[in-house]
Amino acid sequence: MKKTAFIFPGQGSQSAGMGLDLYNNFTQAKEVYEIADEVLGKKISKLCFDGPDEELKETINAQSAIVTTSIAALEAFRKMADIKPDVVMGHSLGEYCAMYCAGVMDLKTTIKAIQKRSQLMDIAAKSTKGTMAAILGADIENINSSIKEASNLGSVQIANYNDPTQIVITGEIEAVQKACELIKEKGARKVIPLAVSGGFHSKLMDSAKEGFIDFVQTLDLKDASIPVITNVDAKMTTKAQDFKEKMPNQINSSVMWCQTIQNAIEYGVDTFIEFGNGRVLAGLNRKISSEIKTYNVSDSITLKAVIDELMVGV
């Protein structure tokens, strides 16, 4: 191995049953869920394990559930393996797990931050009429020109740079729909409307960002012990004050995931370990570079498999 990165998925990676195996097999994971239940004042653990999916996918539940499960997977792994990352990163919501991993926030602070973030984003989504769509196989210039043309109908912008072939757009419903029509006409391979409750990572989240600014200033953040490549600029960040500025900005700005992974590769990373439910980021990484390897830790079986492969000769 050259260098290793720990990565964490964002909203949309949740599904009922996630984390139950970790909870049952690792004391460290069980403690993460117990602390999350205490801080949130509700049984997020039960929702993770039993669902229902409809309730689990609600923003105010999904964000806490995903973060708790990813951190539980991380702590189980830390107990079993002496593998330390050279850099960490997370996709949107997952960035909070990355900050936790880097020592920027302790567990209770991380859960409190996500609880506030999800509440503000949920309120913003319900007070605006927003949506999102995934664009596959389209030229970025055509996407940008279509967005510009559709913007006379309302706010529309790029939400996620996921990989070289996948861009997600976001904003007001009519403007997003128009942009999708134009992008199709210009030769996109596929346009997929997303089943989301709002236009996340857009100007429609401005009120959530503003509400989060003052809250973030009350948090006890430390300088990162491991560089975090942040979503808003795909740059390595270590200073506590920089995180306090970037955390609110992340809510209404684009997620530069593709650029983040590319910068990690330039830094020398060839091995990525994804912590949390599903393999969403592993799938994106395969499209970003065929030269890297991405593992996933989501339960005791995948954890053991990763350790067996990466600890050989260590």
DSSP letters, 45-81, are HHHHHH--HHHHTSHHHHHHHHHHHHHHHHHHHHHH-
Per-residue pLDDT, 164: 95
Of 147, 174, 197, the residue that ends a domain is: 197
Per-residue pLDDT, 1: 56
Per-residue pLDDT, 195: 85
Per-residue pLDDT, 219: 96
- CA-to-CA distance for 1 and 232, rounded, in angstroms? 28
Q: Quote the distance between the C-alpha of residue 131 and its chain's center.
A: 18
Per-residue pLDDT, 313: 46
Per-residue pLDDT, 236: 98
Per-residue pLDDT, 6: 98
Whether residue 266 contacts residue 127, with contact meaning beta carbons closer than 8 Å, is answered with: no
156/24 same-domain check: no
Asked if the peptide bond before residue 52 counts as cis, ω within 30 degrees of 0, the response is yes
Which residues belong to the active site?
Answer: 92, 201
Per-residue pLDDT, 312: 66
Count of structural domains, the chain = 2
Per-residue pLDDT, 2: 87
54/181 same-domain check: no
34/169 same-domain check: no
- CA-to-CA distance for 61 and 80, rounded, in angstroms? 29
146/192 same-domain check: yes
Per-residue pLDDT, 248: 98
107/177 same-domain check: no
112/133 same-domain check: no
Q: Which domain holds residue 143?
A: 129-197
Sign of the dihedral defined by the CA atoms of residues 199, 203, 208, 213, in that order: positive
Whether residue 257 contacts residue 287, with contact meaning beta carbons closer than 8 Å, is answered with: no
Low pLDDT (below 50) residues in the chain: 313-314
Per-residue pLDDT, 301: 97
Per-residue pLDDT, 237: 98
Q: What pTM was computed for the model?
A: 0.96
117/249 same-domain check: yes
88/148 same-domain check: no
Pairing of strands 269-275, 293-297: parallel
